[in-house]
Chain A
Amino acid sequence: MQIENIANVLKAKVLTPELDLSREVVHAFSSDLMSDVLTGDHYKTVLVTGLSNLQAIRTAEMSDIDQVIIARNKEVSQEMIDLARESNIVLLKSSYSLYRVSGILFKEGIKPLY
């Protein structure tokens, strides 16, 4: 599923609209614990998290995760958006909870990592 379509089904705001939104997403991993994200063998993964800080973006970068969804309408700083852009990471913000975002993605056929 393309990240642009994911943004639509989640009614999410795309915070990095200048990046390629046609990229394909196969897996999702939902966590607020960044060390847990770092253990994953990620492939075309979207990270869903309630952790809205620079480390969420850094963790995605180190894990080769190219798209991040911040759930629950958490405030996203300009520094996060700048870092995401610099790291070529598509950043979305959804008002839905982590559970709801995960549930919708699962229903849409996005696979879990484990």
Chain B
Amino acid sequence: MKLHYHIDGGDFVNAGKASSAVKGVLKQLNVPSRRIKRVVIALYETEVNVVAHATQGEIEVAIDSDQISILVSDSGPGIADVEKAMQEGFTTASKEVREMGFGAGMGQPNMKRNSDRMDIQSVPGQGTTVRIVNELKD
């Protein structure tokens, strides 16, 4: 099964809609709830990052019987130092993002913690691509 979602930068009203839709699909597929939670938290934090930092992004989701593969690619400023961005507490978030309840430098660590495999590729000035792969069976 393949799913596609579009994200607009700055659109905090709709941040999380894709994660919510994916949650619904995984529930229908009877994926264990703890595994669903890991997937949707990793995706939700990624969505919030795109809304917070990028101009727009695309989410491609591929689900098969054993695993879910999520590719999120955005157009935006990119991440100058991915390793640094992975450190807990590191943030470049604006005041507006912090007012939304995010931007404390916990997003990327949360994404990593809730992924079985995660990879971030970024080109400063162009954008960022995040790949998340999680197993769906216990």
Contact = CB atoms under 8 A, between A and B. Distances in A.
Contacts of A59: 16, 44, 101
Interface residues of A, number: 21
A49 B100 CA distance: 12
A24 interface: no
A79 B23 contact: no
Contact of B12 (A49, A54, A62, A87): A54
B102 A58 contact: no
A26 B1 CA distance: 37
Contacts of A79: 13
Interface in B16-52: 16, 19-20, 23, 33, 37, 40-41, 44-45, 48
Contact of A36 (B13, B20, B33, B106): B106
Contacts, number: 68
B51 to A, nearest CB: 10
B45 A35 contact: yes
Interface in A50-73: 51, 53-56, 58-59, 61-64
B101 A32 contact: yes
Contact of A55 (B102, B106, B110, B113): B102
B15 interface: yes
A61 B43 CA distance: 13
A62 B23 contact: yes
Nearest to B108: A35
Interface in B72-126: 100-102, 104, 106-107, 110, 113
Contact of B101 (A56, A64, A87): A56
A58 B44 contact: yes
Contacts of A87: 20
A58 B20 contact: yes
